[in-house]
Amino acid sequence: MCNDDLTAGAQRVALDGPTEIWLVGNEQSAAAAPPDMALLPAGDLAKSYAHWVDRATIAWRVPPTEGAGGPERQFHLHFSPDASLRVTAGGVEGAETTLPLRVAGSNIPAAVAARFPHLHGCTHLEIPEEHLEQVSALLQGQVAVSVAAPDGAALDACSVQLAGAIDDLFATVLLQS
C-alpha cells in the first residue's frame, strides 16, 4: 500500500519479523534473507519441458543463444539407466552418458511442427550422427537435457518427453513385421 491510503476492506498489519520474503524457482520454502543463487539447482527434473520428437530431434523452448545474435549456448543430453540423475548448481550429475546436442535452428522443422504444432517456436536440437546408434538404449532409462552459457555455467535442465522418439524408432519396426 502506498502512503496512508487504504482501499475498501484493506487493513494495515504490523510485522514482527522480516518485512520481505524470497521465493526462488523450485524451492519449497520462503527465505527471510536473499538466497545464494550459486547454491541453487539449475533446473528441475520433475518437469519434462523438452520433447524428443524423432530419433534425432529434440525440441525445447529455451533460447539457443545469449540474447539476439549472441554466442550460442551449450546443450547436452544426459542418460542414466538407473534413474540417478540429479540437478545441482553445477548442472546435471549422475549420468552414465552425456552427449552434446547440436543447435540446428531457432525453430523446429516444418515436418515436426505439423506433427507437434504445440512445439512451434521451440529450439531445434539434434543428436549428432555419430551417436544415433545409441538412441534405442537411451530411451530405456532416465533422460534429461541441460543448457549452459557459452562459458559453461549451468542455466537450466529438465526431463524429456520420449513419445515421439519411441514412435519414430519402434513404430517403423512394427510396421515392417
pLDDT per position as a tens digit, 51-102: 999 999 999 999 999 888 899 999 999 999 999 999 999 999 999 999 999 9
pLDDT at 159 (0 to 100):
98
Break the chain down into helix, strand, coil percent, rounded to 5.
20, 30, 50
Rg, C-alpha atoms of the chain: 21
Top-confidence residue, 110 or 170: 110
Residue 3's region, left for phi above 0, alpha for psi from -120 to 50, else beta, is left
pLDDT at 21 (0 to 100):
77
- 40-176 maps to CATH 2.60.40.1130: yes
pLDDT at 77 (0 to 100):
98
Q: What is the DSSP string of 36-99?
A: -GGGS-SSBTT---EEEEETTEEEESS-SBSSTT-PBPEEEEEEETTS--EEETTEEE--SEEE
Cell of 134: 545409441
Q: Which residues pair with 76 in a beta bridge?
A: 100, 146
pLDDT level of residue 176 (50, 70, 90 thresholds): low
Provide the mean pLDDT of the chain.
Answer: 87
Specify the pTM: 0.80
Among residues 129, 153, 140, 154, the alpha carbon closest in space to that of 57 is found at: 129
5: exposed, middle or buried (Cβ count in 10 Å: 0-12, 13-18, 19+) = exposed
Among residues 140, 170, 161, the alpha carbon closest in space to that of 79 is found at: 140
pLDDT at 4 > cutoff 70 = no
